[in-house]
Amino acid sequence: MFKRYTAILLTILISLASSVAVSAQGPQEKFDQDAIAKIKEEGMKHSQVMDTLSYLTDVPGARLTGSPNIRAAQEWAKQKLAAWGLQNAHLEAWGPFGRGWSLEGFSANLTKPNYAPLIAYPKAWSPSTNGVVRGQPVFFDTKTEADLDKYKGKLKGAIVLLTEAREVKPHYEALGHRQTDEELLRLADAEPQGAGGPGGPGRFRFTDEQRAAQQLLNKKWLMLQEEGAALVIEPSRGDGGTMFVQSANLAYPQDTPADKRKTIRDKDAPPVLPQVVVAVEHYNRIIRMIQRGASVQLEFNVSAKFYEQDLMSYNVVAEIPGTDLKDEIVMLGAHFDSWHSGTGATDNAAGSAVCMEALRILQTLGLKPRRTIRIGLWSGEEQGLLGSRAYVAEHFGKRLGPEPRFGGGPPPAGAQPPPESQAPPQFELKPEHEKVAGYFNLDNGTGKIRGIYMQGNEEVRSIFRAWFAPFKDMLGTTKDNAYATLSIANTGGTDHLSYDAVGLPGFQFIQDQIEYDSRTHHSNMDVYDRIQEDDMKQAATIMAAFVYNTAMRDKKLPRKPLQGQPVARTGQ
């Protein structure tokens, strides 16, 4: 049962948390404090993390899975890891993922009643327009299904505004945010969620109103496809020049079976309409001009390229070989792919650079881990953790039958909810499954590490508390707030779930959000200049310490019971 704590009690609890973290490093959990001191020295005073980050974001730029950009970045990362002395650096194929895509050219303008350039971005996997498309836009204004009839025969070759104007509210508070004591305490007091946590495999429940709105929107898309609109534009989520842009929409009738639906990446997918997201302030202006009877003309030119020669995708993998326990592995990882309107700095070149820097620190210091330490930089995360799930299935084990749904947001329109009761899942496990000591992930932006989600695994609490103790001066915003938050809660939406889903100890660190949800996550403002250098150094240093400590323990990290039945073991 949750309780309301007074400010006095909060202060006491924080003090106790800090002292327990220090005292926990006694006989219960021993580690090499001299090695950790060296890791701190190298990570905080001789860091190369920002150099790595700058190259990934500034040179290849956006790293959409399947694009030439991500392949260039992957080749660079592989070579960089090898140059630092890591072994077996390679790109490991998985898939098929489907067609790659890149934007080759784009323009968007208001030309009447006066000229103004529009802030806009095409959606990923949008096809090209047939050259420059000009015309008076059609505002597809519908409140009910009956309203669709008003637009029959009026959408062919049209530039269509899909939805109504959206209210833009002022920001009275800063968009950036660090975790407060109260927020961290709520995480510390949280109870475990269902498997996967928020955004992980779980159940979504629509209200009747939400379901009706989703169904109407799906029918609008179907009508646009059937009538052959020239271009569909939508207002951006976000404002003030920050735009959140993801994948183009491909609609199906709601009764279409799942096995009959194609993804927009499939080589044989049905034709898709060109689709563009416009800054909400510009979109709203166009709507208002139409409603005032002005003669409005827009022009767009989308030039995009699809890549179908290689439908596979790739993960970057490299390792520091172990010594006496070299057959066992500790893994760290982050997703390497991004969306296309920014350069994927906070999501997730930050996590990738931190993981690379953690291994550079260990390699530079010449530390000899007992277990092999292996890095995985995953592609396809933005499409559903595809790269890490494929890697785990290939090396460690997989769930038989339907996969749980990963990732945030509601399911696609027409998706059927799971039954109230389901049989326990079954798993096919491989010999390497027993060799995994632990996996650590970073994927919540540029913010410093404040603790870790234990993912429902209570047995790791005393271990992680001990490991955080040497960093107590680096964990809080002030010395009085110097403690690590250990949350039993699950967290979802990123690649540690691929490990957790097959019973392996996988963990995501708790980070300060900074501007992650408000400005950078999947946006055109996800760029190098939004990165916080000191936070990156801190995160890389703690990541290096955690993987090193895991590699040096006499025992692997404790595991939760596998939630299901291992019915088959392969490769024995």
What CATH number is given to the structural domain containing 171?
A: 3.50.30.30
Count of structural domains within the chain: 2
Q: How far is CA 245 from CA 108, 146, 234, 317, 359, in A?
A: 15, 30, 10, 29, 33
Same domain membership, residue 186 and residue 156:
yes
* Statement to judge: residues 338 and 249 lie in one domain: no
Q: Which of 239, 273, 307 is the last residue of a domain?
A: 307
Q: At 511, give phi and psi (nearest 5°).
A: -125, 155
Across the chain, mean pLDDT equals: 89
Question: Is the residue at 36 inside a domain?
Answer: no
Decide if 6 is inside a domain.
Answer: no
Confidence of residue 332 (pLDDT cuts 50, 70, 90): very high
Write down the pLDDT at residue 24. Answer: 39
Domain, as residue range, for 387: 48-84+330-401+434-569
DSSP string covering 326-390: EEEEEEEEEE----SSS--IIIIIHHHHHHHHHHHHHHHHT---SEEEEEEEESSGGGTSHHHHH
Are 123 and 220 found together in one domain? yes
Residue 495 φ/ψ region, left for φ over 0, alpha for ψ in the -120 to 50 degree band, beta for the rest = alpha
Residues 391 and 510 in one domain: yes
Gyration radius from the chain CA atoms: 25
Tokens describing residue 192:
């475990």
Same-domain pairing of 446 and 363: yes
Per-residue pLDDT tens over the stretch 155-181: 999 999 999 999 999 988 888 888 887
pLDDT in tens, 511-520: 999 999 999 9
Q: Give the model's confidence band at 259: pLDDT under 50 very low, under 70 low, under 90 confident, else very high.
A: confident
Residue pLDDT, tens place only, 31-66:
999 999 999 999 999 999 999 999 999 999 999 999
Q: What average pLDDT does range 377-392 have in this prediction? A: 97
Mean pLDDT of 450-466: 96
Does 299 score more than 90 pLDDT? yes
Range name among 200-214, 399-413, 452-466 with the lowest pLDDT average:
399-413
Rounded Cα–Cα distance for residues 8 and 1 (Å): 20
Q: Which residues on adjacent β-strands are paired with residue 317? A: 90, 376
Domain membership of residue 119 (yes or no) is yes
What per-residue confidence (pLDDT) applies to 200?
A: 42
* Selection from 489, 472, 455 nearest residue 20 by Cα: 472
Rounded to a whole number of angstroms, the distance between the first and last alpha carbons of the chain is 46
Cβ distance 298 to 137 under 8 Å?
yes
Which residue has better confidence, 209 or 312?
Answer: 312
User: 442 and 489: one domain?
Assistant: yes
Q: Inform me whether the pLDDT recorded for 460 exceeds 50.
A: yes
Q: What is the pLDDT of residue 478?
A: 52
Q: Is residue 13 part of a domain?
A: no
Do residues 185 and 57 share a domain? Answer: no
In a domain, 371, yes or no: yes
Q: Which of 392, 265, 373, 266 is nearest to 321 (CA)?
A: 373
Helix, strand, or coil (residue 78): helix
Question: What tokens were used for 532?
Answer: 């916080």
Is the model's pLDDT at 566 over the cut of 80?
no
Q: Rounded to an integer, what distance in angstroms lies between the CA atom of residue 437 and that of residue 371? A: 8
List Cβ neighbours of 311 (8 Å cut-off, separation of 6 or more).
95, 96, 97, 98, 99, 267
Considering the domain architecture, whether residues 379 and 279 belong to the same structural domain is answered as no
Q: Does position 12 have pLDDT exceeding 50, yes or no? A: no
| Assigned domain for 541 exists | yes
Alpha carbons 33 and 468: distance in angstroms, whole number: 11
Per-residue pLDDT for 197 more than 50? no
Q: Is residue 43 part of a domain?
A: no
Last residue of a domain, which of 276, 307, 338?
307
CATH code, 495: 3.40.630.10
Domain presence at residue 132: yes
The side-by-side arrangement of strands in the sheet containing 120-122 is 120-122, 275-278, 231-235, 159-161, 138-139
- 301 and 341 share one domain: no
Pair (448, 356) in one structural domain? yes
pLDDT tens for each residue of 400-422: 876 665 544 444 444 445 554 46
Q: How many angstroms separate the CA atoms of 530 and 528, rounded?
A: 5
Instruction: Work out the average pLDDT over 212-237.
Output: 95
User: Do 202 and 73 share a structural domain?
Assistant: no
Query: Is 278 found in the same domain as 186?
Result: yes
Q: Give the pLDDT score at 7.
A: 38
